[in-house]
Amino acid sequence: MNTTLERSQSSPPILIDSASDVDAPIVLEIYRRVLSEERWMVTRPDEFNVNDEWQAKIIRELNNSSNSRFLVARIGPRIVGALSVTGGKHDRLMHRAEIEIYVDSDCRGMGVGRALMESAITWSKTNPILDKLSLYVFADNTRAIALYENFGFVVEGRMIGEFQEMDGSKRDNVMMALVV
């Protein structure tokens, strides 16, 4: 798959493509930077001990699977974000995939998340196995929730006080889904 989102004449377009092995180190660097913000993801940076080969294996497995995909967004030669569609492995869950999305902090608010999500949904709609996309998001991640709602994702539930921060404060987890 390969889609391009044109922006204004002065801005280079955002290109969405399936990731490949060679993208693994950059994807991992972006993910680590997002983790280091300590705000958006469940995993803490010191809990994330993987290497480039692990990331390459994930990319290979998803893009070789009939109900999964790993996409990257590029602006010019630079990878600026990624989105994984991880389809279920059990027979009862094959029709359902979980989405994870992240964009490098200096490239947010420029349409990269929207371009990634648009491609993922278009791909999922044409996929003969998938019927449903699901995701989890911190209840206070307003930018991400706005993005998901723009594409028609609806809230399926809210887990109250699911996450505990270092200072003891709690944050809710929201489950959202889209039928495709």
62: how many CB neighbours lie within 10 A of its CB?
20
Distance CA 7, CA 169 (A): 40
Distance CA 125, CA 121 (A): 6
For the CB of residue 43, give the shortest distance to ligand COA in the complex, in Å. 11
Q: Which is nearer to ligand COA, 129 or 162 (CB)?
A: 162
Q: Which is nearer to ligand COA, 57 or 114 (CB)?
A: 114
Residue number closest to ligand COA, CB atom: 113
For the CB of residue 95, give the shortest distance to ligand COA in the complex, in Å. 21
Burial class (CB in 10 A: 0-12, 13-18, 19+), 137: buried
For the CB of residue 106, give the shortest distance to ligand COA in the complex, in Å. 10
Phi and psi of 74, rounded to 5°? Answer: -120, 140
Distance CA 163, CA 127 (A): 34
Q: Per rule CB under 6 A, is residue 171 in the interface with ligand COA?
A: no
Distance CA 24, CA 112 (A): 19
For the CB of residue 145, give the shortest distance to ligand COA in the complex, in Å. 8
Q: Per rule CB under 6 A, is residue 40 in the interface with ligand COA?
A: yes
Nearest CA to 41 out of 141, 115, 134, 150 is that of: 141
> Among residue numbers 114 through 153, which ones bind ligand COA (CB under 6 A)?
114, 137, 141-144, 146-147, 150
Judged by CB under 6 A, which stretch of 98-106, 126-134, 153-161, 164-172 contacts ligand COA?
A: 98-106
Give me the residues that bind ligand COA (CB under 6 A), please.
34, 40, 101-103, 108-114, 137, 141-144, 146-147, 150
